[in-house]
Amino acid sequence: MNRNLKWRFLLIAGISIVSIIYIIPSIFGPKLPYWWKKPLPEEKVHLGLDLQGGMHLVLGVKLDKAIENALEATATSLKDGMRREGVIYDYTKRVDDKSVEIRVVKERFVTQVDDVLKDYYNYHISYPYQGDRTKYLLTLKPAEINLIRKSAFEQAIKTIRDRIDQFGVMEPTVAKQRDDRILIQLPGVKDTQRAIALIGKTAQLEFRLVDDEHSVEKALQGDVPEGSQISYERSRDKVTGRITKKPYLLKKTVLMTGEVLTDARMQTGEYGNAHVSMAFNKVGGKLFAQITGENVNKRLAIVLDDNVYSAPVIREKISGGRAQITGSFTDDEANDLAIVLRAGALPAPVEILEQRTVGPSLGKDSIRRGLQSLIFGTILVLVFMVIYYKLSGLIADFAVFLNLLILMAFLAFFRATLTLPGVAGIILTVGMAVDNNVLVFERIREELDLGKTVKAAIAGGYDKAFITIIDSSATTLIAALILYQFGTGPIKGFAVTLSIGLCGSVFTAVVVSRFIYDWFLSKTNITKLSI
């Protein structure tokens, strides 16, 4: 074997071996031996919702709420800063969707207020405001608004992905669809309502004192004391499913939030009741000890998304940086609550804009029909090639088979998702791979008709067909890339398989089949070609 043939053989053999290694996990799955899972790849071809069933969601992130939260946080920090500087103020409040207004009681506090405001460089500060030298207006700069929206959206994607990963969904898709929309696909999920509740929960955890100094009954009649609010504990009866609401009168001041959490786990108590055990970081542990130490014999409410989960009486100072959320939980409810606490709160609420559920029976039917069309279409093409081009048709069939192997290996390597349109792309790839070989074979026939030797005819056929193959493949590849760039999910799946298949078909038609001919010519003196 000459040097040129040797290098081509090593290239083809290397690509074939690597392709086989990457396709084996998709064939054997969990049956792979233990020694395979260490050095060798375990990634398999992922199936889309249309092939295995599951849930499809499009969520809209209410990014304006993230800006409101940032303004509220600024108003709170301004109050703290002015208290430290000894500023007596009338109010600090959010006045619109991008501004916070401050009013102090005397103009003489201007120097102290300036010291407080020097750190708020991301705001445009108007002073005096409305001609009043006791008023300040802080307006978020456009760049800061864009940064808040972008950060909130990225954090929402991360938080949702963390929740889904802990929920145990295999091969989920969580991706940006637009600047304020998130695409979620959960293959194999059957309990859709539980999944939606887990994904969409904002999970704003707060610790507030119960206002036992005033009557909750009077508050329900409209006499709500200033600095307090009404919240409810919602519980579901495990037998009837009926939801009951117990009102609480809570202080508005938030003593601690879920930002200081480091862990949350579902645990079972002495009598088999599920609860959630929480662990705080160092700062949170000290703060919780301080809160419980200063409020002994008072009730501390644990509130999540304005729902009171429990309001136990503080019997003593609680040190150690741990706490519990108790209630009438099922194991699943306690586990889901622990998941959202571990993953963190969403920076902004989300709403479901689109929801579709694909049943597993439809998925199985899609798989069956897709595989049938792929198998029957491939068999018909391969048989035709053998009948029409004889032994040369077998070479083309081998090239098509290797092309399919490379295609599936690439899907596994890039962790791409195979959908039903993707199966259509594979079928089209088979046809185009055969078409490339047909171009070569017809050129070889023309060369043979001119009386050239077999070796010269093969060389001339490949040389003349090469430009045509490259041109046709390039134009189709450009179209596939455009489909991928601007298409939606199913169109992208079709474009991915078509693009990979096109590149593979050029390689197998130009390199692989040519190598087989050259190898035979180097071994034997062929005077007649079966084509």
Instruction: Decide if 364 contacts 80 (C-beta within 8 A).
Output: no
Query: What pLDDT, on the 0 to 100 scale, is given for residue 102?
Result: 92
Query: Residues 383, 488: one domain?
Result: yes
Query: Residues 248, 353: one domain?
Result: yes
Confirm whether 94 is domain-assigned: yes
Which range marks the domain in which residue 351 is found?
A: 201-357
Q: Strands, E, within 179-281: which ranges?
A: 181-187, 205-209, 228-236, 243-251, 256-257, 261-268, 274-280
End-of-domain residue from the set 110, 145, 180? 145
Q: What is the DSSP letter of 276?
A: E
Task: Please tell me the distance from the alpha carbon of residue 392 to that of residue 204, in angstroms, as a whole number.
Answer: 68
Confirm whether 7 is domain-assigned: yes
Query: What pLDDT, on the 0 to 100 scale, is given for residue 300?
Result: 92
Locus of tokens 């750190």? 119
> Phi, psi (5° rounding) for residue 15?
-65, -40
Confirm whether 402 is domain-assigned: yes
Confirm whether 528 is domain-assigned: no
Query: What pLDDT, on the 0 to 100 scale, is given for residue 297?
Result: 92
Query: What pLDDT, on the 0 to 100 scale, is given for residue 230?
Result: 93
Query: Residues 370, 480: one domain?
Result: yes
How many domains does the structure of the chain reveal? 3
Query: Residues 306, 365: one domain?
Result: no
Task: Please tell me the distance from the alpha carbon of residue 226 to that of residue 418, in angstroms, as a whole number.
Answer: 58
Residue 228's CB is within 10 A of a number of other CB atoms, namely 21
CA 106 to chain centroid, in Å, comes to: 52
Task: Please tell me the distance from the alpha carbon of residue 128 to that of residue 137, in angstroms, as a whole number.
Answer: 8
Query: What pLDDT, on the 0 to 100 scale, is given for residue 363?
Result: 54
Query: Residues 470, 515: one domain?
Result: yes
Query: Residues 500, 374: one domain?
Result: yes
Question: ∠ CA 223-205-192 to the nearest 5 degrees?
Answer: 105
Query: Residues 368, 337: one domain?
Result: no
Query: Residues 138, 277: one domain?
Result: no
Amino acid at position 156, single letter: A
415 sits in the region (left: phi over 0; alpha: psi -120 to 50; else beta) called left
Q: Read off the CATH number of the domain in which 118 is found.
A: 3.30.1360
Query: What pLDDT, on the 0 to 100 scale, is given for residue 378?
Result: 81
Q: Read off the CATH number of the domain in which 240 is found.
A: 3.30.1360.200
Task: Please tell me the distance from the alpha carbon of residue 49 to that of residue 187, in angstroms, as a whole number.
Answer: 5
End-of-domain residue from the set 123, 145, 167? 145
Confirm whether 157 is domain-assigned: no
Written in H, E and C, the secondary structure of 361-394 is HHHHHHHHHHHHHHHHHHHHHHHHHHHHHHHHHH
Query: Residues 333, 368: one domain?
Result: no
Q: Read off the CATH number of the domain in which 501 is found.
A: 1.20.1640.10
Residue 357, SS3 per DSSP: strand
Confirm whether 194 is domain-assigned: no
End-of-domain residue from the set 331, 357, 383? 357
Amino acid at position 301, single letter: A
Query: Residues 83, 44: one domain?
Result: no
Confirm whether 83 is domain-assigned: yes
- Beta-bridge mates of residue 104: 89
Query: What pLDDT, on the 0 to 100 scale, is given for residue 259?
Result: 81
- Read off the pTM: 0.60
Confirm whether 57 is domain-assigned: no
> Phi, psi (5° rounding) for residue 20?
-65, -40
Query: Residues 267, 135: one domain?
Result: no
Query: Residues 352, 372: one domain?
Result: no
Question: What is the residue-level pLDDT of the chain in tens, covering all 531 positions?
Answer: 577 788 888 999 999 998 888 888 877 766 777 766 666 776 677 777 777 778 888 999 999 988 988 888 888 888 888 888 898 989 888 888 899 999 998 888 888 888 888 888 889 999 888 888 889 999 999 999 999 999 889 888 888 888 887 776 766 788 888 788 998 888 777 777 888 888 887 778 889 999 999 999 999 998 899 889 999 988 777 667 677 888 999 998 888 888 888 888 888 876 777 888 888 888 888 889 999 999 999 999 988 888 888 888 898 888 888 888 877 777 888 888 888 888 777 888 888 888 887 765 555 666 677 678 778 888 888 888 888 888 888 888 898 889 989 988 888 887 777 777 888 888 888 888 888 888 888 888 888 888 888 888 888 888 888 888 888 888 888 988 888 887 766 677 788 888 888 888 889 988 898 898 888 888 777 778 788
